[in-house]
C-alpha cells in the first residue's frame, strides 16, 4: 500500500511539537496541515459508522490528532525515507518514537495508561486505513489502585458541591461520586432513566457497548435529582428533549460541558489534586471495595465486564505504601 499524503516538515506545521500537549481544557483542537486534516476527517467519518460509543470515538480522534500533529512537527523526511503513514516498518519506528516522546521527552510527561490509550487509538487508525496495527508491545501498567480522593478531599469536594446554586450542576457533580457513572453516561441519562418510588429509586445507566445497569439512587443524591427535575420543567426543551440534563438552548448537555462544570467546582474546592469525573468514579469504586463490598457487586455497579478490572481497586495506593513505613521501629 502506498500513500499520497506526505508528512510535512516541522516548519509547515500549524504548531511545534512542544505545543502539542499544552492545550488547556476547552481550547481549540490541535491544528493540522491540510492533507492531514482531510485524513483525520476521513477517519472520523469511518468511526461515525461503527458501534463504538461517542465518547470512545472522541477519544480516538483526539489521540490520533495529537499523533498526526507530532508527526507533522517532528518527522522531516529525506529522499528514500519511507512514509510512516504507509509503510509498516516506518510506522513501527514512528509509533515507538511517539511513545517515548509521550512518556519521557514531551513538555508534559504522560502516564503509561495515557500512552497505551494513544497506541490503541493509533492502531485503530492504522487498521481502518489498511495499514494494520503497529507491532509494539504495551508497557505494563503500574500495580497500584486508580487515583481516588482521600477522605479529607472527599469532604471538601462534597462541601464545594453543596455551595453550588444550580441543582443541575450539583447533580452532574454528584452522580459520578454516588453512582460511579462515567461523564459520558451522566449526559446520556434521560428523564425516564430516573426511576423513583416512595422511598427508593434507581438510575438506569447505559454504559459501554450499550450495556445497561441499574444503580440505586443514594440518599444524598435523591433530593438534588428531585429539585432538578422540578426546575427542569421550566427550561427550554423540557417538553421536546428526553435528556435529563439540558443546556441553555434546550438540547442535551455535552460531555465536554459537563466536564467543565465539574472542573469549575473542583477549582472552587481548591484541592491539591483536582477531581475529574473519572477520579470521582474511581472514588466510588474504591470506597465500596475498601468497605468490603463483594467484588461481583462492585463490578455490576461499575458496569465492568471483567472482574479483573474491579480487582485493581484493591491494589495498594501511594498512601498505603507511605503508611506501611510507619510500622518500622525508630530510635527517638
Query: What region does 194 belong to: left with phi over 0, alpha with psi -120 to 50, or beta?
Result: beta
Among 58, 96, 204, 278, the one annotated catalytic: 278
- For 327, counting Cβ atoms within 10 Å of its Cβ (0-12 exposed, 13-18 middle, 19+ buried), the class is exposed
Determine whether 290 is an active site residue. Answer: no
Among 98, 178, 206, 313, the one annotated catalytic: 313
Determine whether 63 is an active site residue. Answer: no
Among 75, 168, 213, 281, the one annotated catalytic: 281
Among 63, 75, 91, 182, the one annotated catalytic: 182
User: Could you tell me if 116 and 138 are in contact, meaning their C-beta atoms sit under 8 angstroms apart?
Assistant: yes
Determine whether 104 is an active site residue. Answer: no
Among 208, 218, 222, 311, the one annotated catalytic: 208
Question: CA-to-CA distance for 114 and 106, rounded, in angstroms?
Answer: 13
User: Could you tell me if 186 and 175 are in contact, meaning their C-beta atoms sit under 8 angstroms apart?
Assistant: yes
Determine whether 182 is an active site residue. Answer: yes
| Percentage helix, strand, coil for the chain under 3-state DSSP, each rounded to 5 | 55, 5, 40
Determine whether 208 is an active site residue. Answer: yes
Determine whether 332 is an active site residue. Answer: no
The CA-atom distances, in angstroms, between 142 and each of 8, 35, 60, 104, 316 are 36, 38, 23, 16, 11
Catalytic residues: 182, 208, 278, 281, 304, 313
Amino acid at each position: 500500500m502506498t500513500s499520497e499524503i506526505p508528512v510535512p516538515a516541522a516548519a509547515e506545521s500549524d504548531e511545534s511539537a512542544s505545543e502539542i500537549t499544552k492545550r488547556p481544557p476547552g481550547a481549540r483542537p490541535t491544528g493540522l496541515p491540510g492533507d492531514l486534516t482531510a485524513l483525520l476527517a476521513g477517519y472520523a467519518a469511518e468511526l461515525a459508522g461503527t458501534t463504538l460509543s461517542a465518547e470512545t470515538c472522541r477519544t480516538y480522534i483526539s489521540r490520533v490528532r495529537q499523533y498526526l500533529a507530532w508527526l507533522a512537527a517532528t518527522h522531516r523526511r529525506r529522499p528514500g525515507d519511507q512514509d510512516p503513514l504507509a509503510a509498516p516498518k516506518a510506522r513501527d519506528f514512528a509509533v515507538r518514537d511517539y511513545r517515548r516522546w509521550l512518556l519521557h521527552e514531551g513538555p508534559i510527561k504522560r502516564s503509561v495508561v495515557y500512552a497505551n490509550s494513544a497506541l490503541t487509538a493509533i492502531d485503530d487508525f492504522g487498521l481502518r486505513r489498511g495499514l494494520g496495527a503497529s507491532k509494539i508491545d504495551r508497557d505494563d501498567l503500574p500495580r497500584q489502585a486508580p487515583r481516588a480522593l482521600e477522605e479529607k478531599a472527599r469532604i471538601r469536594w462534597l462541601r464545594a458541591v453543596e455551595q453550588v446554586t444550580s441543582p443541575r450542576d450539583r447533580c452532574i457533580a454528584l452522580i459520578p461520586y454516588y453512582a460511579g457513572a462515567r461523564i459520558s453516561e451522566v449526559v446520556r441519562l434521560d428523564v425516564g432513566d430516573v426511576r423513583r418510588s416512595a422511598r427508593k429509586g434507581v438510575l438506569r445507566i447505559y454504559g459501554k457497548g450499550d450495556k445497561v445497569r441499574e444503580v440505586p439512587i443514594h440518599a444524598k443524591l435523591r433530593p438534588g435529582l428531585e429539585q432538578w427535575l422540578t426546575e427542569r420543567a421550566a427550561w427550554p426543551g423540557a417538553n421536546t428533549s428526553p435528556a435529563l440534563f439540558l443546556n441553555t438552548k434546550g438540547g442535551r448537555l455535552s460531555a465536554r460541558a459537563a466536564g467543565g462544570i465539574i472542573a469549575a467546582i473542583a477549582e472552587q474546592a481548591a484541592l491539591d489534586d483536582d477531581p475529574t469525573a473519572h477520579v470521582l468514579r474511581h472514588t466510588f469504586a474504591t470506597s465500596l471495595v475498601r468497605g468490603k463490598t463483594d467484588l461481583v457487586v462492585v463490578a455490576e455497579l461499575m458496569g465492568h465486564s471483567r472482574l479483573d478490572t474491579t480487582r485493581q481497586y484493591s491494589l495498594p495506593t501511594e498512601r498505603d505504601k507511605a503508611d506501611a513505613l510507619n510500622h518500622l521501629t525508630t530510635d527517638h
